[in-house]
């Protein structure tokens, strides 16, 4: 807490904030979903001891839900042997052992998932079990139309990059302009992939998902990017490519959601490697189930496994018995092209998965230089560190009640100017905090239907609006 900014954080007790909506409505639904998933798995278990232990974990989850809904105090976490428990409990004490409905939103939400993890970590038979894994893969399967569209588009682009097609007969300026447009398209795909966040869209249907994905949806949403610093990011990456032509040029992606969003993150990584804007891409997942849909290393494996035989994955009936049309031969080839390329990049050491315990700590990234100095120093080696999604954005700016015109470079504190870290944040807005807006923009958005008016910043809760914010900490 000593390294955090003085600007107050959003609290679950604020009825005008999405923090209150989260504590009242979202979190009980998420815990109920975890209970249902575990009960479903227990019904298939033949080992009596494992089944009995699973039922005891359900009881703990039910107790957690009761405490939340009846506004009990947050209790100290049980020691599951991990190094972060002491830090969580010390901060809980420093914050005066708050109640669920009068706590800093960021801390309480991190505590919620970390406490759920202790139930499994302390068990004998359920260590490493992910109550959200089934839901994550189901959502990825529901993303089939967008996956197939992007696989086909990407395969064409990769072929053009490898053969040099489209470069002949163009001036250097024309080639650069085309590259910049393509970079923007790839980044916008990556940005809007974040629209499918399972921790927020707790009742997502197949049709809802398809509305959030695909080229038509992305083009319609371009006008909703309130801050767009893509050109500045492209310029520094292009400069690095020119100056370090034969050297290592690394890009880091601090991942957010699994499933379709991880798929588009890998599309972006593959694109950067294929066109030479990066020679290495380092992916940073969480090391435990987190905020429902956040990527863990096993989610990466599950995604690749689904692409080994896309036909079998996509035509398999779902739990309701619904069947699906077979893929065409070309669609199968497009998906397998991606699978093979990503596997090759991974095997060649160009696509690296690097989890770190810091990503599931309870505090903001203002603490990184002090709490995880080795991670901070490592990120300085990167040409660009891309932070994906709403939670990473909230952690960058400490989920604080900044005036929305506060510069992004100010709100990210120690990761800002002269930090040595080049930061870019891709975020579809699903929380109150937002910075870097022009004067009057927030007021204008509040006056839109459902925008919140003078009472709240509801426009920033839905994921309809987005920001792409950049800070060159190496300048």
Same structural domain for residues 164 and 206?
yes
- Domain membership of residue 73 (yes or no) is yes
Single out the residue of 404, 403, 412 nearest to residue 366, CA to CA: 412
DSSP 286-338: -SS--TTTB--HHHHHHHHHHHHSHHHHHHS--TT----PPPPHHHHHHHHHH
Task: Decide which of 111, 129, 147 is a domain's last residue.
Answer: 129
Which helix (H) or strand (E) segment is 384 a member of? Answer: strand 384-388
Distance (Å, whole) CA 196 – CA 194: 5
Residue range 132-139: mean pLDDT, rounded: 91
Same domain, residue pair 120 and 26? yes
Place of tokens 């900490």: 473
- Confidence label for 465 from pLDDT (cuts 50, 70 and 90): very high
Region 193-212 average pLDDT: 45
The pair of structure tokens assigned to 25 is: 């409505």
Q: Strand 422-428 to strand 466-472: parallel, antiparallel, or no bridges (unpaired)?
A: antiparallel
The 10s digit of each residue's pLDDT in 281-295 is: 999 999 999 999 999
Nearest to 133 by CA among 244, 253, 294: 294
Q: How far apart are CA 67 and CA 75, in angstroms?
A: 10
Do 332 and 403 reside in the same domain of the chain? Answer: yes
Structure tokens at 145: 């139309």
Q: How many domains does the chain have?
A: 2
393 plus 305 within the same structural domain: yes
Domain range spanning residue 73? 18-129
Rounded to whole angstroms, how far apart are CA atoms 195 and 218?
A: 11
Instruction: Quickly state the pLDDT bin for 166 (edges 50, 70, 90).
Output: low
pLDDT at 74 over 90: yes
Based on the domain organization, do 276 and 342 belong to the same domain?
A: yes
Check residue 448 and give its pLDDT: 97
Residue 419 lies in a domain: yes
39 and 70, same structural domain?
Answer: yes
Strands 422-428 and 280-284: unpaired
Given this model, what pLDDT does residue 199 score?
Answer: 40
Residues 139 and 189 in one domain: yes
Q: Which residues contact 203 (CB under 8 A, 6 or more apart)?
A: none
What pTM was estimated for this model as a whole? 0.93
**pLDDT tens profile 425-460:** 999 999 999 999 999 999 999 999 999 999 999 999
- What does 10-72 look like in DSSP terms, one character per residue? PBTT-TTSHHHHIIIIIHHHHHHHHHHHHHHHHTT---HHHHHHHHHHHHHHHHHHHHHHTTP
Whether residue 9 is contained in a domain is answered as no
Average pLDDT over residues 196-220: 47
Whole-angstrom distance, CA of residue 184 vs CA of residue 238: 13
- DSSP secondary-structure letter at 455? T
- Same domain assignment for residues 111 and 252: no
* Separation of alpha carbons 278 and 268, rounded Å: 11
Q: Is the pLDDT of residue 219 over 70?
A: no
Residue 167: per-residue pLDDT: 61
The answer to whether 1 and 7 are in contact (CB under 8 A) is no
CA 140 to chain centroid, in Å, comes to 14
Residues 323, 435 within the same domain: yes
- pLDDT given for residue 204 in this prediction: 37
Cα–Cα distance, 339 to 394 (Å, whole number): 32
Residue 319: count other Cβ atoms within 10 Å of its Cβ.
8
Do the domain assignments include residue 44?
yes
Task: Estimate to the nearest angstrom the gap between the alpha carbon of 406 and the chain centroid.
Answer: 24
In a domain, 3, yes or no: no
Tell me, yes or no, whether 13 lies in a domain. no
Res. 394 pLDDT band, cuts 50 70 90: very high
Residue 279 · residue 350 · CB < 8 Å: yes
Tell me, yes or no, whether 124 and 148 share the same domain. no
Inform me whether the pLDDT recorded for 195 exceeds 60.
Answer: no
The pLDDT-based confidence of 226 (bands split at 50, 70, 90) is very high
Average pLDDT, the chain: 92
CATH of the domain at 79: 1.20.930.60
Is residue 72 domain-shared with residue 182, that is, in the same domain? no
Q: Of 265, 168, 127, 202, whose CA–CA distance to 430 is shortest?
A: 202
- Looking up residue 330, the CATH number of its domain turns out to be 3.40.50.10880
Q: Which residues contact 125 (CB under 8 A, 6 or more apart)?
A: 47, 49, 50, 53, 54
Residue 368 forms part of a structural domain: yes
Q: Is the pLDDT of residue 135 over 70?
A: yes
**Final residue in a domain of this structure, among 129, 153, 176:** 129
Strand partners, 73: 99
Range with lowest mean pLDDT among 46-50, 192-196, 236-240, 448-452: 192-196
Rounded Cα–Cα distance for residues 249 and 241 (Å) = 7
**Domain's final residue, options 129, 153, 182:** 129
Planar angle of CA 33, 38, 42, nearest 5 degrees: 150
Q: What pLDDT was estimated at residue 177?
A: 81
Nearest Cα residue to 362 out of 8, 111, 100, 78:
111
Helix (H), strand (E) at residue 283: strand 280-284
**Domain assignment present for 7:** no
Residue 207: is its pLDDT beyond 70? no
351 and 202 in one domain? yes
């Amino acid at each position: 807490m000593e390294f955090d900014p003085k600007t107050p954080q959003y609290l679950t007790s604020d009825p005008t904030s999405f923090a209150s909506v989260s504590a009242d409505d979202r979190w009980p639904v998420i815990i109920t979903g975890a209970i249902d998933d575990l009960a479903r798995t227990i019904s298939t278990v033949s080992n009596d001891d494992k089944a009995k232990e699973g039922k005891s974990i359900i009881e703990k989850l039910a107790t957690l839900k009761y405490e939340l809904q009846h506004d009990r105090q947050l209790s100290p976490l049980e020691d599951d042997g991990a190094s972060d428990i002491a830090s969580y409990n010390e901060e809980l004490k420093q914050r005066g052992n708050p109640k669920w409905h009068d706590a800093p939103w960021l801390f309480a939400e991190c505590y919620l998932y970390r406490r759920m993890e202790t139930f499994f970590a302390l068990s004998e038979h359920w260590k490493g079990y992910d109550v959200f894994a089934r839901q994550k893969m189901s959502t990825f399967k529901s993303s089939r139309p967008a996956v197939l569209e992007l696989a086909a588009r990407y395969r064409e682009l990769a072929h053009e990059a490898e053969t040099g097609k489209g470069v002949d007969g163009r001036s250097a300026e024309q080639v650069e302009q085309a590259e910049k447009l393509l970079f923007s398209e790839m980044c916008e795909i990556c940005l809007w992939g974040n629209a499918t966040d399972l921790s927020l869209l707790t009742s997502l249907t197949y049709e809802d998902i398809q509305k959030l994905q695909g080229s038509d949806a992305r083009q319609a949403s371009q006008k909703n990017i309130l801050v767009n610093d893509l050109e500045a990011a492209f310029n520094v990456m292009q400069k690095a490519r020119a100056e370090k032509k034969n050297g290592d040029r690394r890009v880091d992606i601090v991942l957010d959601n699994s499933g379709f969003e991880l798929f588009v993150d890998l599309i972006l990584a593959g694109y950067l490697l294929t066109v030479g804007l990066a020679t290495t891409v380092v992916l940073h997942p969480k090391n435990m189930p987190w905020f429902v849909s956040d990527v863990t290393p096993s989610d990466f494996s599950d995604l690749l496994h689904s692409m080994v035989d896309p036909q079998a994955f996509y035509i398999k009936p779902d739990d309701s018995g619904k069947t699906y049309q077979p893929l065409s031969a070309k669609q199968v080839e497009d998906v397998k092209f991606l699978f093979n390329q990503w596997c090759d990049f991974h095997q060649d050491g160009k696509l690296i998965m690097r989890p770190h315990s810091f990503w599931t700590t309870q505090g903001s990234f203002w603490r990184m230089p002090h709490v995880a100095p080795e991670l901070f120093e490592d990120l300085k080696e990167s040409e660009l560190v891309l932070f994906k999604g709403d939670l990473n954005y909230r952690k960058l700016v400490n989920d604080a009640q900044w005036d929305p015109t506060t510069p992004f470079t100010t709100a990210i504190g120690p990761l800002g100017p002269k930090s040595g870290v080049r930061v870019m944040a891709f975020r579809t807005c699903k929380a109150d905090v937002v910075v870097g807006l022009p004067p009057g923009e927030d007021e204008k958005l509040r006056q839109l239907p459902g925008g919140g008016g003078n009472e709240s910043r509801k426009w920033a809760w839905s994921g309809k609006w987005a920001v792409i914010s950049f800070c060159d900490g190496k300048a």
